[in-house]
Amino acid sequence: MSAVEYHGDHRARLMRFGLWLRDHRGAVMALQWGVVVVYAVLLIGPAILPLPPAGAHVWDNLTLLAQFLFWGVWWPGVLLSMLVFGRLWCGLFCPEGALSEFAARHGRGRATPRWIRWKGWPFTAFVLTTVYGQMISVYQYPLAVLLILGGSTLAAMAVGWMYGRNKRVWCRYLCPVNGVFGLLAKLAPVHYGVDRTQWSAPQQRPQAMQPFTCAPLVAVKTMQGTSACHMCGRCAGYRDAVELKSRRPDHEVVNLAAETASIWDSLLIITGLMGVAIGAFQWSASPWFVGAKQALATWLVQHDVYWPLEQSLPWYLLTNYPARNDVLTLLDGAVLMLYITVAAVVISAAVGLPLALAVRISGTWNWRRFHHVSHGLIPLAAVGVILGLSSMTVTQLRADGFALEWIGAVRFWALAAAVAASGYLLVRILARQAHGVRLALASGAAACAFGAPLCAWWLLFWHW
């Protein structure tokens, strides 16, 4: 088979798959409800059972199994799928999206208010959820999981019932991981491409004019990227202009993001995924956290202030499980938040300043170019979060007797591949403005942005 024949066959298969999704909505909905059932069992079951006894294992305890699946398989797998298939998870599998759309189908259908459409929600919701999850130990306790994931699901259904007939208003504006998914999906090698000329052409086939509902509220006619598209296939074949097709994985980040990048993208990539997330993964293993807590405790004792060392809060505000000898005092909680804040500020500065220098070296300074250049760090940010989430799996499997001696090599090569991918994207983005020596200098400056996150992961995975 020649290269041309292979490309044509590959394109035909993708197109057929997109049309299959459009024509088999019943099968897709059955799949979604099946995932809802599994999600409900893993979410609610452990919350009504006693905490795992000593000696319990993943294979004989539902709570440990749910922890393993949620944080070690489910979420890392979902993030990885964004890089490969775009937001196919959102369109075909996400239980929260399915329930939100179901509620919207039977709800009041009010217009979406302006406060919901605020563009800062993806960053704000991600940061608040991440920090709150650490305060109540969401990776360790099923009640915390039920509160955060279950609370998010109930909120999604409430928003769906109140606003947007047949639309996923929650998913488009308020979902805590909407922004993260949108960023990662920009690297997907597949997308629904729209031929605007064909869209506007007179139609001869009635089948191509069948109306559809775009649940995530995407303006399909003008859609160019995959950031907001849920890849559900409902629009496939419309006016013979919409087709599931392949593309260069760097196309959206290098080209389209030049016009669409915003401050919220930069904040989510640099401060959220590289700052707050690293601090959240790191604090429990960090000797700096222990040192800071001991120093503050000593100062408090010297000044006869004891209540921050003794006072705790209910488990839904701060981890409080005396039977497990796992109680965070007010001092613990304050130092935890301080640690994550300092990590976010330091890493943001250590990443943002080299990028700013690279932008200035490569040409005239403006914020839009800075926000665009920050997109080059998406691979490193994504791989870091995936590895951070999978560390829960590693810890759990090692506790169950698995040596996993190869995990260090996997982490190293994953980070190396991420650095290579981010380096390539940064050079491609900077090359839009600079050439020759100026491009080399700008690329070198941008590469300095890798230092802080790589150092943070080295400390967590190999040093501490």
Instruction: Name the percent of the chain lying above pLDDT 70.
Output: 98
Residue 66 sits in the same domain as residue 167:
yes
pLDDT attached to residue 11: 87
Taking residues 402-415, report their average pLDDT.
94
130 burial level (CB within 10 Å; 0-12, 13-18, 19+): buried
* Of 119, 153, 185, the domain-final residue: 185
Residue 311 and residue 173 share a domain: no
How many domains would you assign to the chain?
Answer: 2
Q: Are residues 152 and 290 in the same domain?
A: no
Within a domain: 193 = no
Is residue 376 situated within a structural domain? yes
Q: What is the structure's pLDDT at 4?
A: 54
Do residues 261 and 179 make contact, with C-beta atoms less than 8 angstroms apart? no
Residue from 136, 180, 133, 134 nearest 152 by CA: 133
Q: Which of 185, 217, 241 is the last residue of a domain?
A: 185
Residue 241 burial by Cβ neighbours in a 10 Å radius (0-12, 13-18, 19+) = buried
145 and 289 housed in the same domain: no
User: In the prediction, which pLDDT does 402 show?
Assistant: 87
Residue 203 within any structural domain of the chain: no
pLDDT in tens, 71-94: 989 999 999 999 999 999 999 999
- Residue 424 domain-assigned (yes or no): yes
Per-residue pLDDT tens for 261-300?
Answer: 999 999 999 999 999 999 999 999 999 999 999 999 999 9
- What is the average per-residue pLDDT within 310-336? 96
Question: Is the residue at 341 inside a domain?
Answer: yes
Is residue 297 domain-shared with residue 425, that is, in the same domain?
yes
* Cα separation, 63 vs 32, whole angstroms: 23
| Same-domain pairing of 291 and 174 | no
What tokens does 457 get? 């992961």
For position 392, what pLDDT does the model report? Answer: 81
pLDDT of residue 396: 84
257 in Cβ contact with 375 (< 8 Å):
yes
**Does residue 190 sit within a domain?**
no
Residue 10 clears pLDDT 80, i.e. is over it:
no
Q: Identify whether residues 266 and 123 lie together within a single domain.
A: no
- Assess if residue 243 is contained within a domain: no
Amino acid code (one letter) for 13? R
Please check whether residues 176 and 273 belong to one and the same domain: no
Q: What is the CA radius of gyration of the chain?
A: 24
Query: Based on the number of CB atoms within 10 Å of its own CB, is 413 exposed (0-12), middle (13-18) or buried (19 or more)?
Result: exposed
Q: Does pLDDT of 3 surpass 60? A: no
Per the domain annotation, does 427 fall within a domain?
yes
Domain boundary among 185, 220, 246: 185
| Same domain, yes or no: 292 and 181 | no
**Domain span holding position 321:** 261-463
Q: What is the mean pLDDT of the chain?
A: 94
Which residue bears the tokens 């995924």?
273
In this structure, the answer to whether residues 285 and 175 fall within a common structural domain is: no
pLDDT tens for 146-169 read 999 999 999 999 999 999 888 999
